[in-house]
């Protein structure tokens, strides 16, 4: 069956009962030249034990969708790339709020891009396709989640821009939800940060579109929903008698444990208590775990909602103590140790050249692309006091690193050097990603990069029961787990550079978002003040890279490079620097750790390419002025700012030591050779 939907002057075509009929729900979604297969599968015979929702989302791009072969030696799609992983997380976070936490059956949502339109946003279309597949499936979750992307060109918001428009946009805002409810927000400033009022204006535009699209989807698919599976959403592992007994008998022990958990994210103590209760009372361990989890949730939420007391004694708007130390690693280019309460990150910045940039591929591009800014976030087990080996990068680590990168990249948008920041989480109890933003921003300054501005980040939380709610500033791990919202906001003193909001409930009023943004602003400005003090006290390391950029005529580039790269290799070795030359515009970028060497290299290059050969000939004699004394010889100015080189061999032949010479001293010289635009001299 084919269903055509016209929405916002665009047409979507959805095919039902055409493909993947063995799945619980499946559609073939088409828009423009994009074709997406979205499937939903669950196994009601496999009841998973534990207090979590066993939902897995996989977004997969097929290379044939754009007439490409997969990259690499083995020409087959394999390990997901970073974009696929981040898109999987985005879809997961948008659909997860629909499922009751007590749902214990494995759910697999698979989205395959089969054909791609280079002008359409794959993330928006893929989420919408997955949502429709879930809506028409036999799972009893008949709600229509969808997404909107907002761009901005010439200070005007654009709803669902094309990829060409997004390349010109100064912002990138992605929002998903259902009806008037917002479930997830991701934002980054590409050029221009947004203030809180502008952000709310953009959110409202997206919300209106999401609301109307939800209604359109329900109207078109309501009669095509499969008969629902008979699933009991009540938690079969929850026993009210067990709950009451544990609460009465072990209340003080548990409350003491909960207060202790405010100090870190390690649940070892709680797990030990659960084991003891199960053994003492001869209860099933999972049953005890569920009961204790509910007791913990009630305890934390009641304290905050009714007493306005947090487990660590802070006020609702209070930020934990902050400590900052810069350049504690003497051989790194830049480093910052940022500590906020029991969360600590070591952010280390390294500066490289063009060869150090990250190559990557996008399905919509036929050719590999390059990124000059890399942010890697590492979360080892010891950061939460746990003992398991460090393995491959997790989805969570990729997601947190991507958020920190979004927060910082607009502050270095005019810097074309290769820059890598690594955030090592040394201790974690609440929003290590936002601590990574703060530490990462200062590490840029610690490396002498001088970004446009400092960036700070803060994580906001929410406890809501009915119409009553409390917003929390600088949430701890336990408040994140048992709260209703994780709202990370990063920015400078003028506005927001990146934002990520995840909701665990279905009734977030837009005013809650506004209140959270305003409270986050207060916290951000507070942190920025402390970071400003630390920035002003930075002492650069001895090996901090320095960059000097200048331009030469493009027709002179070959003379700088020389035959087989001979000349450029000679310059690199002489002055101990790196050289990058843009052959299209003639930009020359010199980098090194010694300013004098960079200045000498620049002068050497310019003097080499701008020599007017017609004005000089072999045998000419000059009373030259010594301009520079180097370890390989002496540069002598002849006339009109043109230098020649008296090599060390000529000085030794004349029994002259460079220590006997001084800058601006007169030296009698004769031209003995003119080669490759260079003048060679001897002393007379």
pLDDT tens digits for range 14-56: 999 999 999 999 999 999 999 999 999 999 888 777 667 899 9
Q: Is the pTM of this model over 0.85?
A: no
Whether 215 shows a pLDDT value over 90: the answer reads yes
Using a pLDDT cut of 70, give the percent of the chain over it. Answer: 98
Q: Pairing between strand 678-683 and 578-581?
A: unpaired
Rounded average pLDDT over 75-87: 94
Contact 531, 441 (CB under 8 A): yes
pLDDT of res. 196: 96
Domain layout of the chain by residue ranges: 2-175+194-224, 240-307, 322-536, 545-605, 611-684
pLDDT of res. 117: 95
The Cβ of residue 276 has, within 10 Å, a number of other Cβ atoms equal to 13
pLDDT of res. 640: 66
87/399 Cα distance (integer angstroms): 10
Rounded average pLDDT over 200-222: 96
Report residue 151 CA to chain centroid gap. 19
| DSSP assignments along 168-207, one per residue | H-SEEEEEEEETTEEEEEEEEESS--B-HHHHHHHHHHHH
Contact 335, 348 (CB under 8 A): yes
Shared fold status for 2-175+194-224 and 545-605: no
pLDDT of res. 39: 98
The two structure tokens encoding residue 13: 């075509």
Whether 263 shows a pLDDT value over 80: the answer reads no
Among residues 434, 532, 528, 506, which one has the least CA distance to residue 475?
Answer: 434
Contact 520, 458 (CB under 8 A): yes
CATH 3.30.230.70 fits 322-536, yes or no: yes
The whole-chain average pLDDT of the chain stands at 92
363/61 Cα distance (integer angstroms): 7
Task: Give the lowest-confidence range in 43-52, 161-170, 326-335.
Answer: 43-52
Whether 591 shows a pLDDT value over 90: the answer reads no
Contact 632, 648 (CB under 8 A): yes
- Phi/psi of residue 629, each to 5°? -115, 120
394/268 Cα distance (integer angstroms): 22
Burial 433-444 (b: 16+ CB within 10 A, else e): bbbbbbbbbbbb
Rounded average pLDDT over 97-105: 85
pLDDT of res. 365: 85
Q: What is the CATH number of domain 611-684?
A: 2.40.50.140
Using a pLDDT cut of 90, give the percent of the chain over it. Answer: 67
392/42 Cα distance (integer angstroms): 28
Highest mean pLDDT among 80-94, 95-109, 652-666: 80-94
| 558 or 432, greater pLDDT | 432
CATH 3.30.1370.10 fits 545-605, yes or no: yes
pLDDT of res. 613: 60
Task: Determine the angle formed by the axes of helices 432-446 and 510-536, rounding to 10 degrees.
Answer: 30
The CATH superfamily of 2-175+194-224 is GHMP Kinase, N-terminal domain (3.30.230.70)
Among residues 86, 56, 35, 31, which one has the least CA distance to residue 213?
Answer: 31
Contact 210, 147 (CB under 8 A): yes
Among residues 614, 642, 636, which one has the least CA distance to residue 681?
Answer: 636
Contact 651, 641 (CB under 8 A): no
Whether 612 shows a pLDDT value over 80: the answer reads no
Q: Pairing between strand 642-647 and 678-683?
A: parallel
């Amino acid at each position: 069956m084919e269903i055509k939907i016209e929405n916002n002057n665009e047409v979507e075509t959805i095919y039902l009962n055409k493909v993947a009929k063995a799945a619980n729900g499946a559609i073939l979604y088409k828009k423009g030249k994009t074709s997406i297969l979205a499937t939903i599968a669950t196994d009601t015979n496999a009841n998973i034990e534990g207090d979590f929702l066993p939902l897995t989302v996989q977004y997969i791009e097929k290379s044939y969708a754009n007439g490409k072969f997969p990259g690499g030696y083995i020409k087959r799609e394999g390990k997901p790339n970073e974009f696929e992983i981040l898109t999987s997380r985005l879809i997961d976070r948008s659909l997860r709020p629909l499922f009751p936490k007590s749902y214990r059956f494995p759910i697999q949502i698979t989205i395959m891009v089969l054909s791609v339109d280079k002008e359409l946003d794959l993330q928006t279309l893929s989420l919408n396709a997955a949502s429709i597949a879930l809506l028409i499936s036999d799972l009893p979750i008949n709600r229509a989640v969808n997404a909107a992307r907002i761009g901005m060109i010439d200070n005007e918001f654009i709803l669902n821009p094309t990829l060409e428009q997004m390349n010109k946009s100064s912002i990138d805002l992605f929002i998903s939800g259902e009806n008037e409810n917002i479930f997830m927000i991701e934002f980054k400033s590409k050029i221009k940060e947004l203030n809180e009022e502008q952000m709310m204006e953009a959110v409202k535009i997206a919300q209106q579109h999401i609301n109307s699209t939800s209604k359109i989807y329900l109207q078109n698919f309501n009669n095509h929903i499969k008969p629902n599976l008979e699933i009991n959403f009540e938690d079969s592992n929850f026993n009210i008698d067990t709950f009451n007994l544990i609460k009465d008998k072990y209340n003080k022990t548990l409350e003491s444990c909960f207060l202790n958990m405010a100090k870190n994210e390690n649940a070892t103590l709680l797990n030990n208590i659960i084991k003891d209760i199960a053994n003492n009372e001869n209860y099933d361990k999972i049953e005890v775990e569920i009961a204790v989890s509910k007791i913990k949730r009630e305890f934390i939420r009641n304290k905050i909602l009714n007493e306005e007391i947090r487990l660590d004694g802070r006020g609702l708007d209070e930020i934990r103590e902050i400590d900052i130390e810069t350049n504690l690693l003497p051989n790194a280019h830049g480093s910052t140790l940022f500590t906020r309460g029991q969360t600590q990150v070591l952010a280390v910045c390294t500066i490289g050249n063009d060869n150090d940039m990250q190559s990557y591929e996008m399905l919509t591009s036929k050719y590999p692309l390059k990124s000059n800014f890399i942010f890697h976030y590492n979360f080892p087990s010891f950061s939460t006091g746990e003992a398991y080996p460090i393995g491959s990068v997790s989805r969570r680590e990729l997601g947190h690193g991507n958020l920190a990168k979004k927060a910082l990249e607009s502050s270095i948008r005019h810097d074309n050097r290769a820059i890598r920041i690594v955030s090592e989480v040394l201790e974690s109890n609440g929003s290590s990603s936002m601590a990574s933003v703060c530490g990462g921003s200062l590490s840029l300054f610690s490396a002498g990069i001088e970004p446009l501005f400092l960036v700070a980040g803060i994580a906001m939380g929410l406890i809501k029961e009915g119409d009553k709610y409390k917003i929390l500033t600088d949430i701890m791990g336990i408040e994140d787990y048992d709260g209703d919202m994780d709202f990370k906001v990063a920015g400078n003193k003028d506005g927001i550079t990146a934002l990520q909001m995840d909701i665990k409930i279905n009734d977030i009023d837009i005013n809650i978002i506004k209140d959270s943004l305003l409270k986050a602003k207060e916290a951000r400005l507070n942190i920025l003040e402390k970071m400003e003090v630390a920035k002003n006290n930075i002492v650069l390391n001895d090996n901090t890279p320095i960059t000097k950029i200048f331009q030469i005529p493009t027709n002179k580039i070959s003379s700088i490079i020389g035959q087989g790269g001979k000349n450029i290799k000679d310059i690199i070795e002489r002055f101990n620097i790196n050289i990058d030359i843009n052959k299209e515009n003639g930009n020359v970028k010199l980098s090194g750790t010694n300013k004098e060497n960079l200045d000498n290299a620049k002068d050497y290059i310019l003097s080499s390419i701008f020599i007017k050969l017609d004005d000089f000939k072999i045998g000419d004699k000059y009373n030259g002025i010594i301009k520079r004394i180097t370890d390989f010889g002496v540069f002598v100015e002849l006339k009109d700012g043109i230098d020649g080189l008296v090599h060390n061999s000529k000085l030794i032949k004349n029994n002259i030591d460079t220590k006997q010479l001084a800058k601006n001293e007169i030296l009698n010289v004769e031209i003995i050779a003119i080669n490759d635009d260079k003048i060679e001299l001897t002393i007379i």
